[in-house]
Chain A
């Protein structure tokens, strides 16, 4: 039980720090390029990272409680887990929308048809509807990056596409498999963020 929470928290922290690193790079890019889309990208990844840090922190707290022998009800019953998930979902939803806006800004078809559906968020934990929504958004980002790759042939774009495709897969696994596939989904998300980290390291070495 505690090992599962430690692994889950590790994937959450790794993803959070990668997202924050991308956010930092995006703000540097904004200073150099003076392109407002970079601000949207920065904000998106910063929100994503902050939400994941909080979620990871809650998981570590529960893991420590379990390790220290404190009697706790099943994880899904704990209010902290539910609150953490709701915050993680809300931040991921907002972040993916911002990332999508940053990537699609300038596309006339997108600007003419942008509609963000209103959402009412009850307290939930690994709900199929929320995970489905996140799977859809990450899949859209992956498709957009994939289309860009077909035009630019840049391996960094391919890594972004693969990264978000793996994140979409991790959310889709939770839709179809529920919490029993949490570890597999965690690995998929970890690999997705590893792709983003790989892209970041590669890009920072351009011209050296």
Chain B
């Protein structure tokens, strides 16, 4: 049985972006996040602003380059999201 392809939810996109930053060691540049989370530039800008507003990431300047750093709230969000994804998966739900 093949599940119908579902669009990624907003929360799933946010999780994917945070996961990319975490996999990069807690800091990542916009290009890395864009490719890692498979986003368009417009959507990247929109979601980066949203993640900053929610306090899940912070924008910092390193060697004259803009990078995004995961905050403690961002790390907590990743843990919670993973738990809930496992719960959904237990009932056969693909996110």
Contact = CB atoms under 8 A, between A and B. Distances in A.
A binds B: yes
Interface string B17-47: 0000000000000000000000000000000
B88 A160 contact: no
Interface of B is mostly: helix
Interface residues of A, number: 36
B77 to A, nearest CB: 8
A170 interface: no
For chain B, the bracket of interface size reads 20 to 34
Contacts of A144: 92
B8 to A, nearest CB: 11
Contact of B90 (A28, A35, A157): A157
B94 A41 contact: no
A137 interface: no
A33 B85 contact: yes
Contact of B11 (A32, A107, A108, A199): A32
Nearest to A154: B89
Contacts of B11: 32-34
Given A107-B3, A203-B83, A204-B83, A33 B95 contact: yes
